[in-house]
Amino acid sequence: MDYLKAQFAQSLRGSINISGAKNASLPLIAMTILAKNKVNIKNLPAVADIKTLLKLLTNLGANVAFEEDKVVVDTIPLHETKATYDIVKTMRASILVLGPILARFGHCEVSLPGGCAIGQRPIDLHLKALEQMGAKIDIKAGYIQASAPSGLQGTNINFDKITVTGTANIVMAASLAYGETIITNAAREPEVVQLCEVLSESGVEIEGIGTAILRVVGTAGKLLDIVDFRVIPDRIEAGTYLCAGAITKSEITLTDVEPKHLVAVISKLEEMGSSFTLSENEMTIHPGEQIFPVKIVTQEYPAFPTDMQAQFLALATQADGVSIIEERLFENRFMHVSELQRMGAEIMLNGHTATVTGKSKLSGTDVMATDLRASSALVLAALVADGETNIHRIYHLDRGYDSLEKKLEGVGAKIERLRE
């Protein structure tokens, strides 16, 4: 198994190119199931989750070709409609194929994803919405069995809770449904917005893109001619490298980034003492001399993202004073706390709230990554810890960060990938 060895970084300098967004790529790949043409996708990140979803599509009969600067997905020959446990267990987002397969074939089976490190993460809202669209859903032997032999019907769907993949699943299902679907309390994340935009450019009538109310007019079962597209930059990867700049007090420039997707993150970093130079696709962080403590509450976009909570927690260990970080989306998303404590961080956990007292002197040791974003928080802590930190179980990190150690090495960090 691979692990990362990272050392104290005096200071970093230079620029990092941001990859395509994993969380935008996943629904966009699932969307290709709705196509009657081969779909050309640019800027897919080289991360394990993307390979997993492409493998799932290949298992179902699709062809995937990696060309120079794009991936071509051909779902015309796709004929299997069952997403089996072996794949779904490695990636919960496999649930994204449910809506499109059901809409195209009238039936679909997807293994139940089960629990995960950051909490229960149910999919009841996806299923309820599909039932409202006329699907019959049974749960048998660990599988969701969904059928809608006469196609899905447009209807009014109100999500009790904002769900990102839930919204994506229903938008895709609604695109091929009969009639009009109105989704209220829809997710407004940039990744959902890009999915809606690509569908809209491909001929699906969608109103309200980027708002909490989406109106989708289905094609009554007709497959789509999906346009070529380029995946938006990964705002969470970008935010992680901004935290690397802030924690090591280094000026770092990010290229191929979308600053307007990072407003909440930038605003918290400003409160913590950093300033920024922004242009359309580039940004530079200018860290202050001192890191100030902060109060953070994770919420749905455009508020502060839960996917940046762990990294800010690591950063807060180096602030002068007491920071309070409240996690509102996932009940168990503080697994990185005990590992940071082992490095010397002073953190008190009380239910959904972490109180971080800085500034702590961190020391390098062996630590274990517990989930995707927790892994990058440990890397950030390692950059300011005395001595060497070995971060184990980085298969979590590889799920969502494209070449993290190479990108950090490129700005001067001492970090290498080794094998146990």
Contact 42, 69 (CB under 8 A): yes
DSSP string covering 103-170 = HHHSEEEEE----BTTB----HHHHHHHHHTT-EEEEETTEEEEE-TT--B--EEE-SS--HHHHHHH
Q: Which of 9, 12, 26, 362 binds ligand UD1 (CB under 6 A)?
A: 26
Q: Is 122 in the site for ligand UD1 (CB under 6 A)?
A: yes
Backbone angles phi, psi at 180, to 5 degrees: -105, 135
- Count of residues near ligand UD1 by CB under 6 A: 19
What is the contact mask toward ligand UD1 in residues 391 to 410, using x (rule: CB under 6 A)?
Answer: --------------------
Q: Which stretch binds ligand UD1 (CB under 6 A): 163-171, 218-226, 285-293, 308-316?
A: 163-171
Q: Which of 121, 249, 396, 407 binds ligand UD1 (CB under 6 A)?
A: 121
* 49, containing H or E segment: helix 48-59
Q: Which of 36, 42, 124, 150 binds ligand UD1 (CB under 6 A)?
A: 124
Q: Which of 166, 287, 358, 364 binds ligand UD1 (CB under 6 A)?
A: 166
- Rounded (10°) CA dihedral 254, 255, 261, 262: 10
Q: How far is the CB of 306 from ligand UD1 (least distance, A)?
A: 5
Q: How far is the CB of 350 from ligand UD1 (least distance, A)?
A: 19
Which residues lie below 8 Å from residue 128, measured CB to CB, with a gap of 6+? none
Buried-state track 110-129, b at ≥16 Cβ within 10 A, e below 16: bbebeeeebeebebebbbeb
Q: Find out whether the peptide bond into 302 is cis, omega within 30 degrees of 0.
A: yes
Q: Is 370 in the site for ligand UD1 (CB under 6 A)?
A: no
77 vs 351, beta carbon nearer ligand UD1: 351
Kindly give the interhelix angle for 164-175 and 22-31, rounded to the nearest 10 degrees. Answer: 20
Q: Is 336 in the site for ligand UD1 (CB under 6 A)?
A: no
Q: Is 330 in the site for ligand UD1 (CB under 6 A)?
A: yes
Site residues (CB under 6 A) for ligand UD1, limited to 66-95: 93
Amino acid at 46: A
Residue 196 bears catalytic tag: no
Please give the residue ranges that form the binding site for ligand UD1 (CB under 6 A).
Answer: 23, 26, 93, 121-126, 161, 163-166, 191, 306-307, 329-330
